[in-house]
Amino acid sequence: MGKINILDKNISELIAAGEVIERPASIVKELVENAIDAGSTAITIEIKRGGISYIRITDNGCGFEKEDIPVAFKRHATSKITSTDDLDCIATLGFRGEALASIAAVSKMELTSKTISEQFGSSIYLEAGEEVSFEEAGCPDGTTMIVKDLFYNVPARLKFLKKDISEANVICGIVDKLALSNPHISFKLISDNKVKLHTPGNGDMLSAIHAVFGKDFSGALIPVDYEYNGVQVTGYTSKANASRPNRAMQHFFVNTRYVRSKVCTAAIEEGYKNAIMIGKFPFCVLDVKVPFNSVDVNVHPAKIEVRFTNERSVFDAIYFAIKSSLAKTDHLTNAIQSNKNLANAQLLSKFKNEESEQIKINVEKPKEPIVYQPKMQAQSTAQVFSTKAEYEVQVKKPTHKEVVVQKEDNHTVSNDLSQFQYINPESLKPKAVSKKESDIPIIKLEQPIEEEKEIQQSIIHEEQAAQEYDLPIRMIGELFKTYILFETGENFIMLDKHAAHERILYEKLKKSILTEQKQMLLKPIIVNLSSAEFNALIANEELLNSMGFVFEEFGANTVAVREVPLVLSHYDIQTILLDIAVKLSENKRDVSSGVYENLLHSIACRSAIKANDTNSIEELNELIRMVITNDEIRNCPHGRPIVTMSSKYEIEKQFGRI
Ligand code: ADP
Ligand code: MG
């Protein structure tokens, strides 16, 4: 090894520039981010030959003070942070003070700028980072940067650039993302004299999405707006019946900065689990707002990766945001909800008339749309209830007997599973729980003091909830011995009986049955894990115990499994537990592993009633009730839809009545 030298300034500048400026798109990204930080409302980007020969960025932002211009080209010159404390709380896109110096070092660069308070602007011209001229210039408020002949002084770098068209495509991708995350700014991108993108800048994210991706994409989206634990998630995500073959159209922004984030990707996919087909992916444009001091953006020179201090909250906020948006836009749930509202209003007005002498009750407001709330323990498997009644039915009163109503030879499963066959919805009716049995306090109507009035109203709500399953639903019949046809309110619905029953059984299996039946192993199974997986497993021991896994520490990063859920006893426990540990260490909400889940799928599929089965009217009616009383039951475990729905309006339109 030779003698150690301090590198010449020119060489060190070039090395540093290489970290930030890899290709024309890096320049566009840095300069447009500067324009955004400068408070612009309109930004024009013009490129020629994929940006290799020419890049121009014009903005109408705050501009440069004349004396700041030469300083801005020095390395680590920034107006955005002043101390190390500021690094913990970065609210701007830039902060490293490297971009202008790096770009100037590898190109011929011109900057013209004027602030609103100056009469004249200034223009500076640099070649390979050296100032060639600096003079007064007539120009509008704002800044124009022109970068020519990129890498003219480092020809080796030029060789690594792709064809012009590929470089232009990368630039388009970057401008698209900046435009999506800044809908209040109008972006115009011109490539070789052709306008490639022009966003309205009206502050509406959907308009920006429409301008960037077109109407097919924007038309398949539903809004997202949700806040949980200090994390706010807004934007748009794909409808449950729309999907893409890969993740390329999942766009995440954290505090309006485009990021690639495993936490965000995992959370959205968990939110869509069982709602879209296996092998298909949701698409979205989501902005995740977190307190500036709870995210580290100083992880990567291109600032595309971020680190969250509380990954769990970010994961949960996105997960619940997606669940909530999907539930709110589920047609069947909405149709049922509006029927319920109608029935509730009728019930309430009847009650009001009868009791008006004794108590005054405010006319009930329409029910809030369904919003998923994290009611479970942080690490428990996702079980979410949309109404209190549902919660009462499924959690608080688990003692209802389950009845096997369908048990033909060809679909029975082994004895120990037969009780999962069918759940009699009668047993789920809250109505069946008389007030005496219920734990709801009974308040005498004659004493309508303020506080009690509220409790009073909640009792009335309970009573209404009891009526909720008495929705006006009429079964029309069966089609092809596969689909149950029924009407409710102004809607005609077709229900796939196998898919519906399969999902009901799958949820049932997943949520409760496994907890009840365990199998003690003759010989413990030893599972070796990484330290992260091991820690995750130990931290969630209680949850895993409740699922039927009993294990103990067995040396470094190793566990000995002593008991397993009965239903899994003949399967490869090592693989299942390892899968679960990996999921837990990745903070997934639903920890059941792929192997375990496939298993549950196949048990549910085998046990469910099939197309072409002969079923009694009662069975079909019960299946309808199961579906309408649980808005989780909308897709089969593989993501196929369970119901299709047509409104009276749509049908009448087809017949030309409207
Ligand atoms: P950083 O953005 O990390 O601060 P840059 O090298 O990109 O570093 O920019 C240096 C400084 O130049 C910025 O801090 C800002 O004060 C100023 N600046 C850059 N671009 C613009 C612009 N378009 N309008 C106004 N000021 C700008
Ligand atoms: Mg910058």
| DSSP notation for 385-439 | -SSHHHHIIIII-TTPPP------GGG---HHHHTTS---GGGG-GGGS-TTTS-
| Whether residue 288 sits in one domain with residue 349 | no
Q: What is the dihedral of CA 198, 199, 200, 205, to 10 degrees?
A: 170
Find the 105 Cα to ligand 1 centroid distance in Å.
Answer: 16
| Whether residue 404 sits in one domain with residue 352 | no
Find the 159 Cα to ligand 1 centroid distance in Å.
Answer: 29
Q: What is the dihedral of CA 299, 282, 326, 324, to 10 degrees?
A: -10
Q: Whose CA is nearest to atom 11 of ligand 1?
A: 78
Taking the CA atoms of 406, 410, 414 and 415 in sequence, report the sign of the dihedral they define. Answer: positive
Q: Whose CA is nearest to atom 23 of ligand 1?
A: 35
Does residue 205 sit within a domain? no
Ligand of minimum distance to the alpha carbon of 81: 1
Residue at which a domain ends, from 328, 350, 385: 328
Best residue among 13, 28, 31, 34 to mutate for probing ligand 1, ranked by most atoms within 8 Å of CB: 34
Residue at which a domain ends, from 437, 466, 495: 466
Residue 187 belongs to a domain with what CATH number?
Answer: 3.30.565.10
Q: Whose CA is nearest to atom 7 of ligand 1?
A: 99
Q: Can you tell me which atom of ligand 1 is nearest the CA of 73?
A: 6
| Whether residue 541 sits in one domain with residue 624 | yes
Provide residues with CB under 6 Å of ligand 1: 30, 34-35, 38, 59, 61-64, 72, 77-80, 94-100, 143
Does residue 105 sit within a domain? yes
Does residue 208 sit within a domain? no
Best residue among 37, 55, 103 to mutate for probing ligand 1, ranked by most atoms within 8 Å of CB: 37
| Whether residue 184 sits in one domain with residue 83 | yes
Does residue 206 sit within a domain? no
Residue 545: CB atoms within 10 Å:
14
Whether residue 213 contacts residue 245, with contact meaning beta carbons closer than 8 Å, is answered with no
Residue 634 is part of which domain span? 473-658
Find the 98 Cα to ligand 2 centroid distance in Å.
Answer: 7
Find the 544 Cα to ligand 1 centroid distance in Å.
Answer: 52
Best residue among 21, 33, 100 to mutate for probing ligand 1, ranked by most atoms within 8 Å of CB: 100
Q: Whose CA is nearest to atom 1 of ligand 1?
A: 97
| Whether residue 339 sits in one domain with residue 371 | no
Return the pLDDT at 112: 97
| Cα→Cα distances 525→132, 208, 256, Å | 74, 55, 48
| Whether residue 273 sits in one domain with residue 170 | no
Find the 183 Cα to ligand 1 centroid distance in Å.
Answer: 21
Q: Which residues of the chain have pLDDT under 70?
A: 1-2, 5-20, 80-83, 85-90, 94-96, 298, 300-303, 347, 350-471, 512-516, 587-596, 599
| Cα→Cα distances 290→137, 218, 225, 264, 344, Å | 42, 25, 14, 13, 39
Residue 482 belongs to a domain with what CATH number?
Answer: 3.30.1540.20
Whether residue 52 contacts residue 150, with contact meaning beta carbons closer than 8 Å, is answered with yes
User: How many angstroms separate the CA atoms of 82 and 74, rounded?
Assistant: 15
Return the pLDDT at 649: 93
Q: Can you tell me which atom of ligand 1 is nearest the CA of 78?
A: 14
Find the 29 Cα to ligand 2 centroid distance in Å.
Answer: 9
| Whether residue 427 sits in one domain with residue 551 | no
Q: Can you tell me which atom of ligand 1 is nearest the CA of 93?
A: 2
| Whether residue 339 sits in one domain with residue 272 | no
| Cα→Cα distances 52→5, 89, 103, 190, 615, Å | 33, 35, 12, 14, 70
Residue 243 belongs to a domain with what CATH number?
Answer: 3.30.230.10
| Whether residue 478 sits in one domain with residue 571 | yes
Residue 539: CB atoms within 10 Å:
12
Which residues lie near ion ligand 2 (Cβ < 5 Å)?
Answer: 34, 94, 99
Find the 200 Cα to ligand 2 centroid distance in Å.
Answer: 24
pLDDT digits (tens, 9 = 90+) for 301-348: 666 788 898 888 999 999 999 999 998 888 887 787 777 777 777 767
Return the pLDDT at 464: 44
Does residue 210 sit within a domain? no
Return the pLDDT at 605: 81
Return the pLDDT at 149: 94
Find the 72 Cα to ligand 1 centroid distance in Å.
Answer: 7
Q: Can you tell me which atom of ligand 1 is nearest the CA of 30?
A: 7
Does residue 226 sit within a domain? yes
| Whether residue 499 sits in one domain with residue 523 | yes
Does residue 207 sit within a domain? no
Residue at which a domain ends, from 328, 351, 380: 328
The whole-model pTM stands at 0.67
Find the 35 Cα to ligand 1 centroid distance in Å.
Answer: 8
| Whether residue 382 sits in one domain with residue 251 | no
Place of tokens 């690094």: 87
Does residue 442 sit within a domain? yes
Find the 232 Cα to ligand 1 centroid distance in Å.
Answer: 28
Return the pLDDT at 276: 86
| Whether residue 566 sits in one domain with residue 491 | yes
User: How many angstroms separate the CA atoms of 593 and 584, rounded?
Assistant: 10
Residue 352: CB atoms within 10 Å:
16
Report the number of distinct structural domains present in the chain: 5
